[in-house]
Amino acid sequence: EPEVTQTPSHQVTQMGQEVILRCVPISNHLYFYWYRQILGQKVEFLVSFYNNEISEKSEIFDDQFSVERPDGSNFTLKIRSTKLEDSAMYFCASSDFRQGGTYNEQFFGPGTRLTVL
Amino acid sequence: GEDVEQSLFLSVREGDSSVINCTYTDSSSTYLYWYKQEPGAGLQLLTYIFSNMDMKQDQRLTVLLNKKDKHLSLRIADTQTGDSAIYFCAEKGTGGFKTIFGAGTRLFVKA
């Protein structure tokens, strides 16, 4: 069964460093997403991406964040200068809107745990 | 803004029914979802309900939606130890792409 994969599973970085979190969405999906979950808190939407551009983003997704689909398979989230409060589990998801856009099942990856020291 | 609230913990005995409750604020929600997260795994969609329905049954799972009170529940019949996980309630409004999640309810199933 196709699945979303994410690498690495755990990333430790120093405050101020740049990190890139990688995701491989399901191959025929057209919409891609990043969510994050700070320990003990809600899963929060960060950004959605379609047709090589951001389709929606939350207020969390400020100038420190960027997303890219550098080739036909990867979808990346870059945090330019990490802060302590960026420590969280980051989930990638993808979906297929061929059903007329009315039903959206997002398939989630296992997450990358980011720890900022 | 949109918000989804759910209780954080639920403990049941194996074989009993589990009921996980959720409330949401967005009256324009079109789809409401229940996701399951097992340790080390991603969020797995368990079931969903469209906002014009009030009940959906899928094997051991029953979803009840009270749109007037903006209350959603997930009932798991004959709960098994393999059902131990975190269950997330989520909603999606009309238009847009984002899904709003609750903080998750950790279900403990005692043998």
* Cα separation, A7 vs A4, whole angstroms: 10
Q: A51-88 in b/e burial notation, b at 16+ Cβ within 10 A? A: eeeeebbbeebeeebebebeeeeebebebeebeeebbb
Contact A110 B41 (CB under 8 A): yes
Mutate to test the interface with A, among B43, B56, B88, B105 (most CBs of A within 10 A): B43
Kindly report the backbone phi and psi dihedral angles of residue A85, in degrees, each rounded to the nearest multiple of 5, phi listed first. -75, 0
What's the pLDDT score for residue A1?
A: 75
Q: Work out the pLDDT band at B72, boundaries 50, 70, 90.
A: very high
Give the pLDDT mean for B99-106. Answer: 92
Which segments in chain A show pLDDT lower than 50? 99-102
Mutate to test the interface with B, among A9, A43, A54 (most CBs of B within 10 A): A43
Cα–Cα distances in angstroms (integers) from residue B72 to residues A36, A105, B31, B87, B111, in the given order: 23, 18, 11, 13, 27
Question: Tens digit of pLDDT for each residue in B25-60?
Answer: 887 778 899 999 988 778 888 998 988 889 999 999
Burial of B81 (0-12, 13-18, 19+ CB in 10 A): exposed
* Cα separation, A32 vs A59, whole angstroms: 18
